[in-house]
A = this chain, B = another copy of it.
Amino acid sequence: MSNLKSHASDAPSSVRASSNKPSTQKRILDTAERLFAKEGFEQTSLRQITQEADVNLASVNYHFGSKKALIQAVVARYMDVFMPALDEELRALDDESALTTLQVFEAFKLPLFSLNGIHKRGTERFLRLLGFAYSETQGHLRRYTQSAFGNVLQHLLALLHRANPELSDEEMFWRLHFVLGATVFAQVSGQALIEIARAEFNHEVNIKTVIEHLIVFIAGGLERP
């Protein structure tokens, strides 16, 4: 883990010097993101990634060190946008006089949709990545999130307590995890569900619709007396 060659700590930031083709690093990152979001981390092999990215197999280990590190790099690219944005939204709620659960969860919407700046379907990808991070046991990812953005999550918990002062710590603990479960699951099974829904109800269904439905649901569950 220590005698690696460079991991491109700086170097060719994003675009190759005299070529219109993105750098090897970016190609790997983009392709990995797409495949991870589609199939999950464990289901996606480095051979699949490097083949589709049209780079050499060994370049993943050269540039990122390991598959774990690649996974973390992919997730971090979204976390680094999402978490500060969420932080800002949550701060805006601090001054709210009559805070509701729905308000807290709706604070997620803008940060989530802002991820579409990273990629056309960034929101969807991020949520699916999160889902896989939880359903597969990617302990290192959980540790990274906790240590890098633990304060934001603490803030979230405090706001929910403020909106639901009658709920005990324990009640809140369980309900928050159920919320997380519904969210994660909706995204991991999301694509399949969206297709079923599309066929069943004969109209377009997109990720925004799903999130709208989801927020109402989890707010209902969380507020239950």
In the bound complex, how far is the Cα of B217 from the Cα of A179, in angstroms? 9
Closest to A205 in B: B170
Does B171 lie within 8 Å of A213, measured CB to CB? Answer: yes
Given contacts A134-B189, A135-B188, contact A217 B178 (CB under 8 A): yes
Does B186 lie within 8 Å of A181, measured CB to CB? Answer: yes
Does A169 lie within 8 Å of B134, measured CB to CB? Answer: no
In the bound complex, how far is the Cα of B221 from the Cα of A193, in angstroms? 19
Within 8 Å CB of A213, what residues of B?
171, 174-175, 178
Q: Which of B180, B189, B222 contacts A177 (CB 8 A)?
A: B189
Does B224 lie within 8 Å of A220, measured CB to CB? Answer: yes
Please classify the interface of chain A as helix (H, G, I), strand (E, B), loop, or mixed, using the class held by over half of its residues: helix
Which residues of chain A from 188 to 225 have any CB-CB distance to chain B below 8 Å in the complex? 188-189, 193, 196-197, 200-201, 210, 213-214, 216-224
Within 8 Å CB of A184, what residues of B?
181, 185
The complex is assembled from copies of this chain, and their number is 2
A144 touches B (CB below 8 Å)? no
**Which of A169, A177, A222 has the largest number of chain B CB atoms within 10 A?**
A177
Does A222 lie within 8 Å of B220, measured CB to CB? Answer: yes
A8 touches B (CB below 8 Å)? no
Within 8 Å CB of A196, what residues of B?
173
In the bound complex, how far is the Cα of B177 from the Cα of A178, in angstroms? 13
Closest to A170 in B: B201
Within 8 Å CB of A214, what residues of B?
174, 178
A183 touches B (CB below 8 Å)? yes
Instruction: List 17 interface pairs A-B (beta carbons < 8 Å), by A numbering.
Output: A134-B189, A170-B197, A173-B200, A174-B186, A174-B210, A174-B217, A178-B182, A178-B185, A179-B182, A180-B185, A181-B182, A181-B185, A181-B189, A182-B221, A184-B185, A218-B221, A219-B224
Which 6 pairs of residues, A with B, have the shortest CB-CB distance?
A: A181-B185, A220-B224, A221-B221, A135-B135, A178-B182, A217-B221
